[in-house]
Chains A and B, each alone.
Chain A
Amino acid sequence: MSGSVAAWRSRGKPVAVALTVVLLLVMLFPFFVMITTMLRTSQEVYVSPPRWIPHIVTFRNFAIVWSQYQLLGYFKSSLVIGVGSTILNLLLSIPAAYAIARLRFAGRQLFLYLFLVVQMFSPVVVVISLFKTFSKLGLLDTYSGLVIINAVFTMAFSVWLLSGYFRSIPVEIEEAAFIDGATRSQTVIRIILPISAPGLVTTAIYTFISAWNEFLFALSFIQTQSKMPLTLGLYRFVGRWSSQWELLATADFLAIIPVLVLFYVIQQRLVAGLAGGAVKG
């Protein structure tokens, strides 16, 4: 019997490794295409039959997208919208999360439920009337509009994540500070927030990534080229200069890298936050 286990170990493992490699090749194929495309000249993009690996490797596309295609402008917009949304999101969600985690009041459970369900809200459902609200408030075609709407649509999840963190801090620490004469706001600023730093970082990164990747609201509300974030800018890029795929692949690469790096920092805690108590982050 232990023989069969050993047999499985020796026979099963190579099978597992082989299957893993095959699945990885399938899942990473688009990234392979991106890298091999961005490193070739346009002549080598349009050869039939295509080549997996270009004969001549070039980095010229980086200079082209940077200087000729306003990529810097799109980056700037994405950065402004991302940072703005993150700050606004934290300003709104930290107090709300603290209230839900620490204070006793009627309707606490109701608020908790509200924040969980609102997470699932479909942007498309409201975008058709938000357009009108935005035009009334003068938020169409502005960074502020996207900052607000991204902060709002990520807020529920932030409240959810942060209240979990706040709750995991022992009440005794706070009570000890109260006895020493600290006010509630002092306790929050000097004790709760520093202890929840990992939670704050996760929340901030998650919000930033969501805003960076947002497409629907930008598509609906932004008209001016210079205000377009990367997602919208590159989408229009395909429409306008279609068939310059080596440039698009290069721009894609540059646009993905920042969020890819940030995502790896938070992925484990993100899974725990989304799937609930059974997963420990």
Chain B
Amino acid sequence: MADSLTAPKQRFLAPEARLAYLLLLPAVVVLVGFMIYPLVYVVLMSLSTTNRLGWLTHFAGLKNFLAVLGDGNFWRVTGRSLIWTALAVFVKMSLGMVIALLLNVEFPGRKVAHMLFIAPWASSVPISVLLWSWVYTPEFGLLNHTLRMLGLTGNPPVWLGYPISAFIAAIWVDIWIGVPFMALVFLAGMKSIPEDQYESAHIDGVNAVQKFAFITLPGIRHLVLVATLLSALWTFNDFNVIWILTAGGPVDTTDILITSIYKYAFVYLKFDQASVMAVVTFLILTGISAVYAKFYFAGERRS
């Protein structure tokens, strides 16, 4: 029986590989055509002089890179991208952790709360952002009214009118969208920690904070890492929130790398500079995703 199964497998090894490549072919063709080729073309654009339609006119070497790297605006936008990512991911993790801990407590209505917490992630991002632009409206919007009524501030800002408040308003929307994913991942991790670990800790007289620090956190450490990297990728890449809410305004003060690329290409028609920023962005994102892949596979092996 075992022989009859393994023998043909040995013989069919070559056809099996051929079948595999055949099955992978369509997927790989579209990946190359619509992702890899455009990426290579962006690299070519970054090394060339381009006209207003984005056509390559002639080879320019590193001229575009030097121009962009010598531009203060590029560094401001890159810095803002990093602050945007670090700050948003940090708040998403903290809030996500709090919500996961709450949902890990048994109380009536927990299932409903669980469903409701997911809503910002489940809803359509561009549509939600449109909604937020109404929420932030100064005079008639309900956010400022609510802040006043709760006595939190007597004089709430014109959120989208000034650089700092617009940046805070935008980053909060990004956080709001990203928190549920964090909470769900952390919660799934907490549920996978064996109950008896907590029970023996009870017997040893360990308090709640210690349990969190010595059982919960180490137990979900790997998941926290994977979720953080994934969230960092999504956050760095977030085009929709800023574009729809502020379009980078007022006067480009809320642009991050990703919206700047789009603006340089399709608004200013400076394709060469846009492509330099795109290459920089690609390198940053590839770095993060390589680390993510490494830890993802480490998790696969562990489980």
The answer for the CA separation of A91 and B27 in the assembled complex, in Å, is 9
Given A103-B19, A122-B281, A275–B226 Cβ distance below 8 Å?
yes
Inter-subunit contact B38/A215 (CB<8 Å): no
- Give every chain A residue within 8 A of B123 (Cβ-Cβ): 31, 256, 259-260, 263
Given A24-B117, A48-B139, A120–B285 Cβ distance below 8 Å?
yes
Closest to B301 in A: A277
- Does B60 sit within 8 A of A, measured CB to CB? no
The answer for the CA separation of A181 and B17 in the assembled complex, in Å, is 21
Inter-subunit contact A238/B131 (CB<8 Å): no
Closest to B230 in A: A274
Inter-subunit contact B102/A16 (CB<8 Å): yes
Given A30-B132, A129-B42, A279-B223, A260–B119 Cβ distance below 8 Å?
yes
Inter-subunit contact B281/A275 (CB<8 Å): no
B126's partner among A133, A156, A235 (CB-CB below 8 A) is: A235
The answer for the CA separation of A276 and B230 in the assembled complex, in Å, is 11
CB-CB contacts below 8 Å: B202-234 with A: 202, 205, 207-208, 220, 222-223, 226-227, 230, 233
Inter-subunit contact A245/B137 (CB<8 Å): yes
Inter-subunit contact A117/B181 (CB<8 Å): no
Closest to B206 in A: A1
Closest to A267 in B: B118
Q: How many residues of A contact B (CB 8 A)?
A: 106
- Does B237 sit within 8 A of A, measured CB to CB? yes
- Give every chain B residue within 8 A of A215 (Cβ-Cβ): 125-126, 239-240, 244
Closest to A48 in B: B139
B260 to chain A, nearest CB (A): 10
Inter-subunit contact A279/B189 (CB<8 Å): yes
- Does B93 sit within 8 A of A, measured CB to CB? no
Q: How many residues of B contact A (CB 8 A)?
A: 113
**Considering residues A108, A216, A277, A280, which has the most beta carbons from chain B within 10 angstroms of its beta carbon?**
A277
Inter-subunit contact B127/A256 (CB<8 Å): yes
A133's partner among B34, B105, B288 (CB-CB below 8 A) is: B34
- Does B162 sit within 8 A of A, measured CB to CB? no
Inter-subunit contact A130/B34 (CB<8 Å): yes
The answer for the CA separation of A252 and B98 in the assembled complex, in Å, is 29
A221 to chain B, nearest CB (A): 11
CB-CB contacts below 8 Å: A146-187 with B: 148-149, 151-153, 155-156, 159, 175, 179, 184
The answer for the CA separation of A259 and B244 in the assembled complex, in Å, is 20
Inter-subunit contact A264/B115 (CB<8 Å): yes
- Does B155 sit within 8 A of A, measured CB to CB? no
Inter-subunit contact B188/A279 (CB<8 Å): yes
Inter-subunit contact A238/B296 (CB<8 Å): no
Binds A, one of B61-69, B82-90, B140-148: B140-148
CB-CB contacts below 8 Å: A237-281 with B: 238, 245, 248-249, 252, 255-256, 259-260, 263-264, 267, 271-272, 274-280
- Give every chain B residue within 8 A of A238 (Cβ-Cβ): 130, 133
- Give every chain B residue within 8 A of A119 (Cβ-Cβ): 289
- Does A191 sit within 8 A of B, measured CB to CB? no
Inter-subunit contact A132/B41 (CB<8 Å): yes
**Considering residues A4, A156, A238, A279, which has the most beta carbons from chain B within 10 angstroms of its beta carbon?**
A279
- Does B5 sit within 8 A of A, measured CB to CB? yes
Given A92-B26, A230-B127, A277-B303, A118–B31 Cβ distance below 8 Å?
yes
Given A27-B119, A129-B54, A255-B127, A249–B134 Cβ distance below 8 Å?
yes
- Does B122 sit within 8 A of A, measured CB to CB? yes
The answer for the CA separation of A249 and B141 in the assembled complex, in Å, is 12
18 CB < 8 A contacts A-B = A1-B205, A20-B113, A23-B98, A27-B119, A27-B176, A33-B134, A37-B134, A50-B140, A99-B20, A99-B21, A104-B16, A118-B35, A235-B126, A245-B134, A252-B131, A267-B121, A271-B185, A277-B301
6 closest cross-chain pairs (CB), A and B: A277-B303, A263-B122, A120-B289, A105-B17, A95-B23, A96-B27
Binding site for A on B (CB under 8 A): 4-5, 13, 16-17, 19-21, 23-24, 26-28, 30-31, 33-35, 37-39, 41-42, 45, 53-55, 95, 98-99, 102-103, 105, 107, 109, 113, 115-128, 130-135, 137, 139-143, 145-146, 148, 176, 179, 181, 184-185, 188-189, 192, 202, 205, 207-208, 220, 222-223, 226-227, 230, 233, 237, 239-240, 243-244, 258, 261-262, 265-266, 271, 274-275, 278, 281-282, 285-286, 288-290, 292-293, 296, 299-303
